[in-house]
Structure 1
């Protein structure tokens, strides 16, 4: 299948997840499924914008009370010539015309023969330093549209507007199965062994696309272990790490790393056939990443098979996995094209994905792009999509997560 067709089919195979209402603590990183509306006005009442004195009429003013933020409001209405000592954020009394800040106030006692009340004087401007109810945000105002990303700041905004929950598009749940007896997950690999370089980059890539990795499991070589990981009871890995705590059954997408080729230890196709899966993509005309696949299990879960070489796996993930996650999560796709400013090896039949950096002259290939190495991708800002028989025209750039 051509690279463009495979990518489009992957996106088309994913049905967007339905909206759910979640607590604020669970909404971070999701996209709003409905506009964010102010349930309360901000501020909710007229409040002081300064520490000082809320005053009525002309000065000097006799201080008749004190109001603190969070404390009881002043009872009654201020009469002309009266003032209330007030803290920033405290509700201003009815009848207050403005707030006289401490630094502008002349404070003293009245003559002993008349009263020992505190009096203040100073120059004020009518309405100054009082934030009126709804001045910042009116009750019922739409402050963010559907589709906005719930960032930490959006959580604070929503809380300030009275929300305990948000209606969001949930982030797709992705489970990663890292296969292969030769794969080690820490330390220096011995002879015939390799470090897992795919499992570490997938959570960040999935998160960038709008999903979240909810489980990662190590699966030894063999059909039975892979079948158990995809559909059956949990199987224990050789090192004693079991799959019981890995939420494969609840995942929206399952990613199998290193079992998508057609070698003697690559059992994914056979296992998917035994499970009655519908294979949607079986190999893509792209370099690197040709031996990738996409299937749907009878229960509806999508399975993405990635090759074992790290850069090939990244190319396949950007071809199949990222479009699926974006579609499920409602994450928009950035479209970009560019000229290529450098020599590129083309292929007569396959699309090539080439690591590049942007420049004023166009996209510059960074090299180091062999299937088994992530060096070039780590240096790159994007992957240039070089079609078969490319003749110098502008090419599409696939966005990479920030930093490659």
Structure 2
């Protein structure tokens, strides 16, 4: 259990007490007293140097006049009228010194204490607001937890002991084969041929091969170096310009085109031609296999195509979905999470999260009316 519920209760109690303290005094009276106190302090700051000693009689007169006007703003019988009058008494003399101002400030201390009721109410309101925000944040967190528990519980009927190797073996066999075949293709095919290959894959939306940047593509299509394989172009790009002059007609053009787009060339690999793990649902996988076969046939040996056929046969097996879901859960959950799912601990945690969420919602509703605008 978190500390949010007692925090809400404590913050509510503190705010209620602080609000009551203001109401007992009277907010309007406190505000009026605050204005007088603040103006007295301003007077002290403005005239302390001028009104003390014998050097500035005009300043002394101005100070006394404004002080009298301020005291008269508090009606007879107002709370702390005597404290403000005591302040005035500190200056009822012909010559003032720094000590008079110190005594006047001391006379205002009881006033400060009561005016602080306003500040304490603001501080208490802020503490309550923060406690409510934290509780609301925790409720959102608990809602996400409950949703995650629901997702886990939806997997509780999955057969975690299903022989997922029946799927993994043919898929991994194909992935290794197509990786080796494509690596050999890149070593022997010209960069122009690879550009053409990538263009053809655009007709197959389920084979998401990378697009070559326009400036690099233009260079490969027009320059003689475009007849070289991509690994050779990457090797050339590492040479100095003087050494590169022995291999290509325009070393600067190759440097500009290849060196600046090296990452784009290195991204051309077999990854878009490989199958995901865990695999897709059967219908999606069969469509992807169909497109992959059309693309891979252009460069891969018959052995690689044979691996694709093996995967296709697995996707047609009536047991495929059971195996796929088992593979998905094993990939998604670690051993501890699988144990908690099987033991029922996930369901228990879900119930605890729901109970805490409801308690916090109830607490927020209970304390909401105290957040007045006063």
Q: Calculate the TM-score normalised by the size of structure 1.
A: 0.21
Greater fraction of residues in helix: 2
**Rg: which structure is higher?**
2
TM-score normalised by the chain length of structure 2: 0.22
Structure with more relative contact order (C-alpha pairs < 8 Å, separation 6 or more)? 2
Say which structure is richer in strand.
1
